[in-house]
Amino acid sequence: MENTKTIAKARQGLHGTIEIPGDKSISHRSVMFSALGSTPVHITNFLHAQDCLSTAACMKALGASVEFESETALTVCGHGLHGLKEASTIIDAGNSGTTLRLMMGILAPQPFLTTFTGDASLHKRPMGRVIKPLSAMGAKIYGRENNTKLPITIVPAESRLHGMVYESPVASAQVKSAILLAGMYADGPTTVVEPFTSRDHTERMLEAFGVETRKEGTAVTIEPVDSFRAPEAIEVPGDISSAAYWLVAGSVVPGSSLLLKNVGVNPTRTGILDVLKAMGASVTLENERVSGGEAAADIRVEAAKLHGTSFGAEIMPRLIDEIPVIAVAALFAEGDTVITGAGELRVKETDRLQTITDEFNKLAPGSVEASEDGLVIHGGTKVQCANCFSYDDHRMAMSLAILGTAGEGAEIERPDCVNISYPAFYGTLARLQA
């Protein structure tokens, strides 16, 4: 493991074409849902990264056939909606909150016992927000710290789960998805009402498997499901959360011009495009298309003069993972950027509001102030080279790398966490500077 990564200041603009790796959220779901079908599904542009491989390993442990033809192509075949088998050992979700939360929804209705573990970071993350509603449906789930933390054991429920209407206190696709997936096995309709609409990859992919959900305002309803009609193939679009680093780098490194290929532009995920455009970025969508129910496009980004902006809770579900790199854009913008409604970032892989503040202030002293649920970023603060820490958080490591590239360089300690979502990141960054 390389313990420090030296990031060089870009001497000229970044130029080139980037094939964006597969969307993490859709890669997870493509494997999970295919394992609930009974016919083979060929998945391409799968994200070959630790989190998604954790999901593939989980489904294999539960009896599905998972065969990789290459790093990004695999065929998954299950034994039907009721065909999962009890795992012979404890299931390891690694660093992946998505794997764990969605799998709890799928496994809560099953007639066998499952025990989950994960890495040190996942052991700290709150699972009560999924366990509480699933328990209200009749699931039997037990965990550390009063049923909120790993390790977690799911025991067969005493009867079929009950459909219900759940008013979610948070707009979270993981919470919503876990409840909808459990609702497929329930005795009546299940509805999740959110304060704002979170990303809808689960609903779109369920549709590709022949399962209808009904949407009214911020409420989504699913009826009990008899069977899955698996598609023959799923092409995973590129991940806009991975494209975000290049959208910002292309905007703030003077003289840059980048073309990002095959980026998912699902409207529940494109908050970063809205914010960058509000800041004055030059971002253009080309070759727009739909694949597997998901919108995709190529995105061209050119360097531009940015100005500060403000945004809050309403847009947060559409860009929560992109806040660290949006903070980089804000640092190179004219004036202040004010972010509110982002309290959710305090319970990610790390407390991202605190780590953004601590690490960015090493590179640009006095540039960032944290509040309880947001940040104030002073654009135009003088940037210097400094030694930074990733906190083993992939999104922090990549954001610090872009900040160093656009600024005066950086030394990043523990850089290898990018493998969680974007193993080719540093190689791509070096190529664009060549």
Is residue 33 within 8 A of residue 76, CB to CB? The reply is no
Q: Is the dihedral of CA 289, 291, 294, 299 positive or negative?
A: negative
Query: Is 373 assigned a catalytic role?
Result: no
What does residue 41 show for φ and ψ, rounded to 5 degrees?
-120, 125
Residue length, the chain? 434
DSSP character string of 9-50: PPSS--EEEEEPPBPHHHHHHHHHHHTTSSS-EEEES---SH
Which one from 200, 239, 298, 321 is the annotated catalytic residue?
321
Local structure of 133: helix, strand or coil: helix
Q: For the beta carbon of residue 147, count every other beta carbon within 10 angstroms.
A: 15
Cβ pair 269, 296 in contact under 8 A: no
| C-alpha–C-alpha distance, residues 102 and 55, integer Å | 10
> Cis peptide leading into 231, omega within 30 of 0?
no
Q: Which residues are catalytic?
A: 321
